[in-house]
Every structure is written in C-alpha cells, then in structure tokens.
Chain A
Amino acid sequence: MSESKAVKSVDGKERETVLEIINLNKSFKGKEVLKDTNLTLFKGENLVVLGKSGTGKSVLIKCIVGLLRPDKGSVKVFGREISQMKKNELTEIRQRIGFLFQNGALYDSMTVKQNLVFPLVRIKKGIKKEEVEERVKAVLESIGLPEVMNKMPSELSGGMRKRVSLARTIIVDPEIMLYDEPTTGLDPVTSDEISELINEVQEKYHTSSIIITHDLRCAMKTGDRMIMLHEGVVHSEGSLEEFKESEDPLIKSFFTETS
C-alpha cells in the first residue's frame, strides 16, 4: 500500500495531516461508545481530546493503533487505511506510533533498561549494542531519571513509571504520539512535570500528538488545539482560547468543574 501525503486547508492555510478519522463507530455489547466520530491530526501539533470518563476517549486511540477494530468508519494514518492493513503492514505503521498507556504498562518482570531495550531492538533491527546503550542513557537523561536504569518497575513511584513509560515510547523515534490520560493518578506537581515533558517531546522529536485527558490543567499546558468528546460524539472543536470563551453549557461546566 503506498503512502500519500494528505493535505487539508485550515483557515486558508494548507496543513499536512498525519492522521484522519472519518465517521468512526464502535460499540461493545450493543452499547455505542463512538458514534460517527471525526478527527484530524495535523503534522507537528498537540491535539487534546477532552471529555468525561467513559466517553470513548481511550477506545478512540486504541482504534488508531489497531488494538480495537472499528465497527464502521475509516482510520487513516499517514494516508493509509488501518482497517485494511495486513498484519505486517500494521506492524510497520505501529513502529511510527508511540503509545503511552494510562498506567504506564511497564513490563514488570523486566528492569527499566530491559523495558527500554525491548521495543528498540525489535523496531530498529540490527542496531549495534553500543548504540542501544547510548540511546538508553540518552533517553533516561532526557526524562531526568538516569539513575533508575537497573531498577525494577515496582521500585518506582507513579510519576517515575510514567516517565519511564514515556522514555520507552520515544526511544524508537515515533512520528505520532498517543497519550492515554498521561496525568491520571499523579499529584499536581508531577502532573505539571509530565505536561512539560510532553511539550519537550514535541519540540525535540517533532512529533504530532493526541493527548487524551480529563485533566484541564494538562490540556491547557500541552494543547495546541482541542476537541471535546461527549457520549462518543465530537461535541466541539477549537483552540484553547475558543474553549475558554465558549458559552456552550457542556464546555462551561467542564471548565468550571475541573478548574
């Protein structure tokens, strides 16, 4: 399948899209979670998907990486349709996407270093041992945790686990980052640190990101553009300023309740 550069016109400017979701539907045991959801991610932007718990935010990003199969609709990553991909094509596309899981999902039988090496040697096949060592050191330094290399995940705090998990995704140079509730369960200070790290990743690795969250503080710190998901439908879309000034009762209530 060939890769085509998709371009969309926004406010008269042409912008390259890296990911496009069109009329996505997903239901579980008859309960509709996503209903004709549409979303576009432009190259180099941080797109925040806001919404209450249970509105289908996590389901949305799991459909992007093919962990869940949509019932209907289209998910195009780098212009290629995910649902029509063969297994090896899906593996190839996944190598260009980083996924930060809600609870980190670190492999608890491996040390931090082994966690980092695991995807690296599988994605960058034939990588030299010295380069692996260098990358592990560099990525741990970039997240501010060079001393945890030989520790087990169970020895780390919640914030540290999130950072290491982020390191595991960025070590393979992804082009798209998907963050599933990156600040859930963390104290405000650590949450801010993670939000800053998300911005650093965007600047340093020039990634395009989707940040799924219900943490308004994180959304305001990281988002270039926002989408409000409500009961599986994209309720509204706009910039942070537009959201702040919105008179829409749902957005208003979200901003008042969470601020």
Chain B
Amino acid sequence: MADKTIPRIRKATASSISKLSDKTIHTKEEAGSFLIDVANATLFVMLVIREAFSRNFEFREFFRQCFRIGNKTLALVSVTGIIMGAVLTIQSRPVLAEFGAVSMLPGMIAISLIREMGPVITALIFAGKIGSGMGAELGSMKVTEQIDAMEVSSANPIRYLVVTRVLASTFMLPMLVLYADAMGLLGSWLAANIKGNVSLTLFMAQAFDVVGFIDFIPAFIKTFFFGAVVGFVGTYKGYNSGRGTESVGTAANSAVVLASLLVLVVDIIAVQITDMLER
C-alpha cells in the first residue's frame, strides 16, 4: 500500500512542479505584456498631449466630433437622467415619510445627483456609447488602411483622429453631465408628483436651497477627467488594434470595459480629494 502511494505522491509532485513552472512562465509573460501595454499607453497619452499643443490644430474636426458626441448621446442621457431622478425619488420617499422628512427629499435628490449619481452614471453610459464607438471606428480605419493612407498623405493621424476625439470627449462629457443632472431633477419632480402635489418652482427652490458650490464644483471638475479617460481609452484601443476584422470588436469591447473601470477609479480618487478638502 505504502509502496503504491509513494510513486503516486512523486508523480503528483512532478506534475505539480511542471504545472507550477508553466503557470509561472505564463504569469511572467502576462505581467510582461501588461507592463509593455502600460508603457505604450503612457507614451500614447504623452504623444497626444504634445500634439494637442502643436500648431495646425484641427478645429473643424474637433467641432465636428463635439457635435457628433453630443448628438449621439443626448437622447440616451435624457432618458437615463429622468429615470435616475425618478428611481431615487420613488425609493427614498417612503423612508423619509417615515421620519416626516419628505420636505428634505428635493435637497437630498439634488445632492445625490449633482455630487455622485449624475457624473458617474452619465460617464458610464458615455463610456459604453462613445468609448466603444471610438474603439470600433479607429479599429476599422486601421484594418482598412485608412490610418496608413492618412499618414502617407502628409496628414498627422494622431492630431486629426485622436487629439480631436479626446478633446471633444473631455469637453462634451461635463456638458452632458450638467444636462443629465437637470433631467434627473425633472424626473425626480415628476416622480414626487405621483404621490404628492409639488409645484416645479417649490421643488427646485427646495432642491437648490441645500446645494452649495462645494457640492457642485468638485463634481463638475471630475467630469473633465472622466471625459478624458473615455477619450484616451477609446482612441488608444482603436488606434492600436490588430489588423484583422476580429480586432475591431475586441477594441470596442475592451475600450468599454477599461474606460468604465477607470471612470470608477478616477471617481474614488476624486471623492478622496474632495473629502480631504472639505475637512
């Protein structure tokens, strides 16, 4: 019995070692490729920033991208904003009613929307819609050699395609967040009127009574960073996609995943900084 067990243990040990070494090599390779990816992304960001301050800025393309981004997401942001405000109101009202604090509802909703819900939910929706669009568009331009064609015709593809998209995304997201906040408050007022009868003027007066600049300014500033993150990730993934058609889908998909994740990471950093400033 013992004789039979020993070889089994030995066998198991040998196979575990080989598995372990395979896993170690694989992990090492993965870590290496991750570090290379981080280095490439850093170089890409630096290149884009340098090109953004160079001469011959593509103003026309920048305004076209701003219009496209705003136009593409306006309807989606409107619906999301209204639903966000309405859901918050419907869920918070019974709790506040229990404590006889229904009059605090507009202020509470306004603070939640302006400080956190509006910026983050809009940025996540934005990452899904615009980040994936950028990844897919630039990815397909790469596959069909349009980026190469731009390069050989003396245009600078980074300046024309990337800088304009990153800046448009950085400037348009804060506008969309403001709009989403307004829609959220509207949705909240509509929901409040399901069970009560509050005038829009009174609702807004109660809402803005508790909102100060300290609620609005940090939340507004962080949306620029959210926009930049979505722009950089979307264009980086598209611009550096592979040459096959499959890579277009991969670029779009990974752009959404990474941009959403980074939006949340930037958010936690922004919240910590705001918290430190408020103390």
Contact of B152 among A65, A102, A108 (CB under 8 A): A65
The proximity string for B residues 152-175 relative to A, scoring 1 for CB distances below 8 Å and 0 otherwise, is 111100000000000000000000
Say if the beta carbon of A101 comes within 8 Å of chain B: yes
Q: List 13 A-B contacts (CB under 8 A).
A: A65-B152, A67-B151, A67-B152, A94-B152, A101-B149, A103-B144, A107-B150, A118-B150, A118-B155, A119-B154, A119-B155, A123-B154, A172-B153
Contacts of B144 in A (CB 8 A): 103, 105, 108
- Structural contact, A103 and B153, CB atoms closer than 8 A: no
- Structural contact, A91 and B154, CB atoms closer than 8 A: yes
The proximity string for B residues 128-146 relative to A, scoring 1 for CB distances below 8 Å and 0 otherwise, is 0000000001000100111
- Structural contact, A103 and B145, CB atoms closer than 8 A: yes
Say if the beta carbon of B148 comes within 8 Å of chain A: yes
Please, how many angstroms separate the alpha-carbon atoms of A105 and B141 in the complex?
8
Would you give the shortest CB distance from B161 to chain A, in whole angstroms?
Answer: 10
Please, how many angstroms separate the alpha-carbon atoms of A101 and B155 in the complex?
16
- Structural contact, A101 and B145, CB atoms closer than 8 A: yes
Task: Give the residue name and chain of the B residue nearest to A64 (CB).
Answer: B152
Please, how many angstroms separate the alpha-carbon atoms of A67 and B152 in the complex?
8
Say if the beta carbon of A19 comes within 8 Å of chain B: no
B interface size (C-beta, 8 A): 13
Which positions in B face A, CB cutoff 8 Å?
137, 141, 144-146, 148-155
Contacts of A103 in B (CB 8 A): 144-145
Please, how many angstroms separate the alpha-carbon atoms of A107 and B152 in the complex?
13
Contact of A122 among B137, B146, B155 (CB under 8 A): B155
Please, how many angstroms separate the alpha-carbon atoms of A97 and B148 in the complex?
14
Contacts of A105 in B (CB 8 A): 144-146, 148-149
Task: Give the residue name and chain of the A residue nearest to B148 (CB).
Answer: A67
Contacts of A119 in B (CB 8 A): 153-155
Give the contacts of A88-122 with B (CB-CB under 8 A): 91, 94-95, 97, 99, 101-103, 105-109, 118-119, 122
Would you give the shortest CB distance from B41 to chain A, in whole angstroms?
Answer: 21
Contacts of A122 in B (CB 8 A): 153-155
The proximity string for A residues 6-40 relative to B, scoring 1 for CB distances below 8 Å and 0 otherwise, is 00000000000000000000000000000000000
Contacts of B152 in A (CB 8 A): 65, 67, 94, 97, 99
Closest CB pairs A-B (n = 8) = A119-B153, A105-B149, A105-B145, A99-B152, A101-B145, A65-B152, A91-B154, A95-B154
Please, how many angstroms separate the alpha-carbon atoms of A172 and B153 in the complex?
9
Contacts of A108 in B (CB 8 A): 144, 146
- Structural contact, A94 and B146, CB atoms closer than 8 A: no
13 other A-B residue contacts (CB within 8 Å) besides A101-B148, A105-B145: A62-B148, A65-B152, A94-B153, A97-B152, A99-B152, A102-B145, A103-B144, A105-B144, A108-B144, A108-B146, A118-B153, A122-B153, A123-B154
Task: Give the residue name and chain of the B residue nearest to A99 (CB).
Answer: B152
Contacts of B150 in A (CB 8 A): 107, 118
Given contacts A103-B144, A105-B144, A108-B144, A94 and B149 within 8 Å (CB-CB): no
Please, how many angstroms separate the alpha-carbon atoms of A103 and B150 in the complex?
14
Would you give the shortest CB distance from A159 to chain B, in whole angstroms?
Answer: 17
- Structural contact, B154 and A107, CB atoms closer than 8 A: no
Contacts of B145 in A (CB 8 A): 101-103, 105
Would you give the shortest CB distance from B244 to chain A, in whole angstroms?
Answer: 14
